Amino acid sequence: MTSAKPVALVTGGAKRVGLAVVQTLAEAGFDIAFTYHTSRTSADELISNLAARDTKAIAINCDLTDPDSATGEIDDAIRSAFGSLKVLVNNASLYEPSDLQSTNLPQLRKLMAIHVETPLLLCQRLEPLLRASHGHVINMVDLLAERPWPQYVAYCASKAALVNLTLSLSRTLAPDVTVNGIAPGVVEWPPDYPKSEQEKYLKRVPLARSGTPQDVANLVQFLVTRGTYITGQILKLDGGRSIT
């Protein structure tokens, strides 16, 4: 069975940026698959909301720090439920601090698994579906991949590896599939982030505001619907912060 609508898969789609991407693509006419790990309540609520809008949607519970197992589950679910795939958004992420001395191999391997290994294996497994639909891959990277913080050694390194993977995949999957990365600045403040630090950051942002999850979702929608001659690019969605 092949879905009548184009299908989008968003990893980590039950909350925050992933949720905004799912909702925006559903409104644009996509059927939806999304993954979640611990956010069962949010996932169930999202499925109900999408069903009410006549969007076919599935929620896939898996642990993306176990790439081989998780990507197999995702591949099986996509083929069973839809039989096609137009868009893959590798959004799931873990944002964990670690400086040089506190970084350890288990943490490094966990961050590399979710940020690099899972996106790679998903592209590997889903390549036939993406090529058949002349699809699009969007990888969520980070400005810190280019300007790393010493307090986030493992996180920054894994996101930098994802940048390189994005460039490699854009060549490998051409001409059938576009592959791009989005590097947001701040799009959602952590709940405990000090107000003084927020103000300090915003003074370096030419557009004088933080971004929002919807800003990211709007760019994803553009890249997979209208920006189809764009590939191999890392788009900085930061209000100009990277030029100051």
Quick: pLDDT tens for 197-232. Answer: 888 888 999 999 989 999 999 999 999 999 999 999
pLDDT of 121 strictly over 80: yes
- Is the preceding peptide bond at 119 cis, omega within 30 degrees of 0? no
Confidence of residue 147 (pLDDT cuts 50, 70, 90): confident
Mark out the alpha helices in the chain (DSSP H runs). 16-27, 40-52, 67-81, 105-112, 118-132, 153-172, 195-202, 213-225
Superfamily the domain 7-243 falls into: NAD(P)-binding Rossmann-like Domain (3.40.50.720)
| Residue percentage of the chain with pLDDT more than 70 | 100
3-class secondary-structure state, position 176? coil
Tokens at residue 220, please?
């994803």
Mean pLDDT score of the chain: 95
Report whether 34 contacts 112 (CB < 8 A). no
Task: Give mean pLDDT, residues 4-28.
Answer: 97
> What integer pLDDT is reported at residue 4 of this predicted model?
85
Residue 131, pLDDT > 70, answer yes
Question: Is 160 a residue whose pLDDT tops 90?
Answer: yes
Residue 189 has pLDDT above 90, yes or no: no
Nearest to 132 by CA among 173, 169, 91, 172: 173
Can you say whether the dihedral through the CA atoms of 93, 99, 103, 108 is positive or negative? positive
Q: What is the pLDDT of residue 204?
A: 92
Q: Name the 3-class secondary structure at 117.
A: helix
**Does the pLDDT at position 190 exceed 80?**
no
The residues pairing with 8 across neighbouring beta strands, listed in sequence order, are: 32, 87
Predicted confidence (pLDDT) per residue in 75-110, tens digit: 999 999 999 999 999 999 999 889 999 999 999 999
3-state secondary structure of 152: strand
CA 197, CA 42: separation in Å to the nearest integer? 30
* Residue 2 banded pLDDT, cuts 50, 70, 90: confident
Is residue 3 pLDDT above 80, yes or no? no
pLDDT of residue 1: 61
Residue spans of the domains in the chain: they are 7-243
> Is the full-model pTM beyond 0.85?
yes
How are the residues of the chain apportioned to helix, strand and coil, as percentages rounded to the nearest 5? 45, 15, 40
Cα(147)–Cα(136) distance, integer angstroms: 27
* pLDDT at 158 > cutoff 80: yes
Range in 2-6, 111-115, 175-179 the model is least confident about: 2-6
**Is pLDDT above 80 for 194?**
yes
